[in-house]
A and B are shown apart, each in its own frame.
Chain A
Amino acid sequence: MTQVLQENRENIGKSKLIQGRKPRWTWIACLAGSLIVASAIMAVVGFNVAGWAVLTALFYVVSNYAVTRIMENGRKATDQLWTNLVVGAFLVALLPLISVVWTVLSIGLPGLLAPGFLASDMTGITGAVDQASVEDGTAILGGVKHALIGSLVMTLGATAISVPIGLLTSIYLVEYSRGGTFSRAITFFVDVMTGIPSIVAGLFAAGLMLTLVGPGDNVMGFTAVIALSVLMIPVVVRSTEEMLRVVPNELREASYALGVRKWRTILKVVIPTAISGIASGVTLAIARVIGETAPILVTAGVAVSTNWNLAKDWMMSLPVYIYRQMMFPTAPAAPDASEQRAWAAALVLIIIVMLLNLTARFIAKAFAPKKTGR
């Protein structure tokens, strides 16, 4: 008895269960080896980062597979291979995101930090002004205030229209319709609407307003709001519908069994239970339309001064601002000024979208049904 115990004590650390395993640091060795080999090849054919990274990855995957196969067995090696491939796919998918964020951040930051960029619009910024500031090396004037306000006002307007319509539609679909022709038609058309190219939505809105108010009155901002709503409504319907469907039927029945009317049940039980998902869905829909360019370009057009009024005159928005500054620089002879402003505006747009995404997460957390451990 004591003998056995003694033996067991001595065997601690050399467990039979982990015999025949490759040591933990194998992957570091593989990586280091691959790096060296890849560098050597690069030194011969001429260095470039992309080729170097691809070669390293290739050698790493192959060497890791081979080493595992030799030191362990075929099953482990296949496992290792697929793990590496999946991680590789993930890194490739991440690449554009990191690259975009990095590029916009590094190029756009100086423009964003230029004094008065957020607080001034483009009134009075002519080609001559830009040319002068580029030639003299003084701070580039002009800013994004009108586009920022335009984007926010129009998106807010679109949200104010889409959320009630979308919410009510999905409530009808989930709570009231009993799978009849009408509800199936709605679902079908919502799906079709999801696929509408955004420029078509813009043209539709322009055409609609032309027939409704005529060419004389220019309600550009509002027309853009309609175009954005056309794009936003299906997204809101879809995400809200999804969220309402996952509310357990038991909760509805519990409420009915207490003698609560259906509309009160929906308002006070179903929606509060789903509110976190609904709110984050809506926030993501907002993030989606705030970056729309085409439908705003053909409706709200372009402007250089700040316009808060949706019902009057042209209105600028961030994406259109970026497009205009890039394609049609204010001073064609000195496009640097416009480019700087465009990149800075792009940065502003990305920051807004990221903030919206964070808000969505925050809302989802804050409203989620409280669950403490059992």
Chain B
Amino acid sequence: MSKRIDAIDFNVYYSKFLAVEGVNISIEPKSVTAFIGPSGCGKTTFLRTLNRMHEVIPGARVEGKLLLDGDDIYAPGVDPVSVRSTIGMVFQRPNPFPTMSIRENVLAGIRLNGQRISKGDADTIVEKSLRGANLWNEVKDRLEKPGSGLSGGQQQRLCIARTIAVEPDVILMDEPCSALDPISTLAIEDLINEMKDQYTVVIVTHNMQQAARVSDKTAFFNIAGTGKPGKLIEYAETSTIFSTPREKATEDYVSGRFG
């Protein structure tokens, strides 16, 4: 399963501060979309609104519509918890649960929700998710060891495994490779390429090459100055963004002439 996302005239606030303004974007199912843009332009902020993680912050709110396969996830009465179980998220910093073993970390989404599953099913899910995250071979002999004992890159892939274990329709990734070495980065990029067959993937990245390598479409966000809201400047096929962008700002940014 995989779902499309449409944002319509979407504004994002931190209390009074308008952080992202007027976003209109359509993200296709079974595609990889990259968000690029300078620091502080609201990529993380916007990404977190896509699964209603934004409102966890006190005072944070949004305006406008955000449609998941046509249904507004911000409509009154929508349960943010069910939105989040449909739209998974991988954070910039790996954050495995320190009290849990590797195996428990993978099963966290199921166990924490109080679902009971047989040991056989659990084993299947653990292996499938860890294989999906390209981590199985490295950890299969130490599944009962604490998840925080892994290297940073392994931890990040563990977090990805944890996210795909609950079988979401959409996966959001906020700079998943920013703390990783080139080899782990490659592993995660391969993974993103494979995930495209099943999920809608949205990834924030500061790495142009990475955006070019993994994404089908790219969204460029920019900010006019400090204190001003971030805006979606251009959204198009990745090849277009990197070769013949419509906007001057986009061209400057992707060619490295920015600031």
A96 on interface, CB distance cutoff 8 Å: no
B-to-A contact residues, CB < 8 Å? 51, 53, 56, 58, 81-82, 84-86, 88-89, 91, 93, 95-99, 108-109, 111-114, 145-146, 148-152, 159, 162-163, 166
Q: Which residues of B contact A248 (CB under 8 A)?
A: 95
**Of listed A252, A256, A264, A273, residue having the most chain B CB within 10 A:** A256
Cβ-defined partner of A268 (8 Å) among B51, B112, B152: B112
C-beta contact mask, A238-267 vs B, less than 8 Å → 1, else 0?
Answer: 000000000010111111111111001100
A11 on interface, CB distance cutoff 8 Å: no
A369 on interface, CB distance cutoff 8 Å: yes
A371 on interface, CB distance cutoff 8 Å: yes
Q: Return A181 CB to nearest CB of chain B, in Å.
A: 15
A269 on interface, CB distance cutoff 8 Å: yes
Chain A interface bracket (under 10, 10 to 19, 20 to 34, 35 or more): 20 to 34
Q: Which residues of A contact B96 (CB under 8 A)?
A: 254
Cβ-defined partner of B88 (8 Å) among A251, A258, A261, A273: A258
A138 on interface, CB distance cutoff 8 Å: no
Given contact pairs A258-B85, A371-B148, A250 touches B91 in the complex (Cβ within 8 A): yes
**Of listed A256, A257, A369, residue having the most chain B CB within 10 A:** A257
A15 on interface, CB distance cutoff 8 Å: no
A372 on interface, CB distance cutoff 8 Å: yes
Q: Return A176 CB to nearest CB of chain B, in Å.
A: 11
A179 on interface, CB distance cutoff 8 Å: yes
Does B166 contact A258, Cβ atoms closer than 8 Å? Answer: yes
Does B98 contact A257, Cβ atoms closer than 8 Å? Answer: no
Q: Report how many A-B pairs have Cβ atoms within 8 Å.
A: 93
Given contact pairs A179-B58, A369-B99, A254 touches B53 in the complex (Cβ within 8 A): no
Q: Return B174 CB to nearest CB of chain A, in Å.
A: 10
Does B81 contact A261, Cβ atoms closer than 8 Å? Answer: yes
**Of listed A254, A256, A372, A373, residue having the most chain B CB within 10 A:** A254
Given contact pairs A248-B95, A370-B99, A257 touches B148 in the complex (Cβ within 8 A): no
Given contact pairs A254-B159, A371-B148, A373-B149, A264 touches B109 in the complex (Cβ within 8 A): no
Does A372 contact B112, Cβ atoms closer than 8 Å? Answer: no
CB nearest to B92 among chain A residues:
A250
CB nearest to B88 among chain A residues:
A257
Q: Return A269 CB to nearest CB of chain B, in Å.
A: 6
Q: Return B158 CB to nearest CB of chain A, in Å.
A: 11
Q: Return A182 CB to nearest CB of chain B, in Å.
A: 15
CB nearest to B89 among chain A residues:
A257
Q: Which residues of A contact B111 (CB under 8 A)?
A: 268
CB nearest to A275 among chain B residues:
B99
CB nearest to A272 among chain B residues:
B99
Cβ-defined partner of A259 (8 Å) among B56, B82, B148, B152: B82
A374 on interface, CB distance cutoff 8 Å: yes
Q: Which residues of B contact A254 (CB under 8 A)?
A: 91, 95-97, 159, 162
Q: How far is the CA of A252 from the CA of B111 in the complex (A)?
A: 15
Given contact pairs A254-B97, A371-B148, A372-B149, A260 touches B112 in the complex (Cβ within 8 A): yes
Q: Which residues of B contact A372 (CB under 8 A)?
A: 145-146, 148-149
Q: How far is the CA of A261 from the CA of B109 in the complex (A)?
A: 11
Does A257 contact B97, Cβ atoms closer than 8 Å? Answer: no
Given contact pairs A178-B58, A255-B112, A370 touches B98 in the complex (Cβ within 8 A): yes
Q: Return A277 CB to nearest CB of chain B, in Å.
A: 13
Q: Which residues of A contact B89 (CB under 8 A)?
A: 257
Q: How far is the CA of A370 from the CA of B88 in the complex (A)?
A: 26
Given contact pairs A258-B162, A260-B109, A369-B99, A374 touches B84 in the complex (Cβ within 8 A): no
Given contact pairs A259-B166, A264-B112, A371 touches B146 in the complex (Cβ within 8 A): yes
Given contact pairs A251-B95, A370-B98, A264 touches B113 in the complex (Cβ within 8 A): yes
Q: List 10 A-B contacts (CB under 8 A).
A: A248-B95, A250-B95, A251-B95, A257-B163, A258-B162, A258-B163, A369-B148, A370-B99, A372-B145, A374-B149
Does B91 contact A265, Cβ atoms closer than 8 Å? Answer: no
CB nearest to A271 among chain B residues:
B99
Does A370 contact B112, Cβ atoms closer than 8 Å? Answer: no
Does B84 contact A259, Cβ atoms closer than 8 Å? Answer: yes
Q: Which residues of A contact B56 (CB under 8 A)?
A: 252-253, 256
Q: How far is the CA of A248 from the CA of B99 in the complex (A)?
A: 13
Does A259 contact B95, Cβ atoms closer than 8 Å? Answer: no
Q: A273-B99, A369-B146, A371-B98 are in contact. List 20 more A-B contacts (CB 8 A).
A: A251-B97, A252-B56, A253-B91, A254-B97, A255-B112, A257-B51, A258-B113, A259-B109, A259-B166, A261-B113, A269-B99, A269-B112, A273-B97, A370-B99, A370-B146, A370-B148, A370-B149, A371-B148, A371-B149, A374-B152
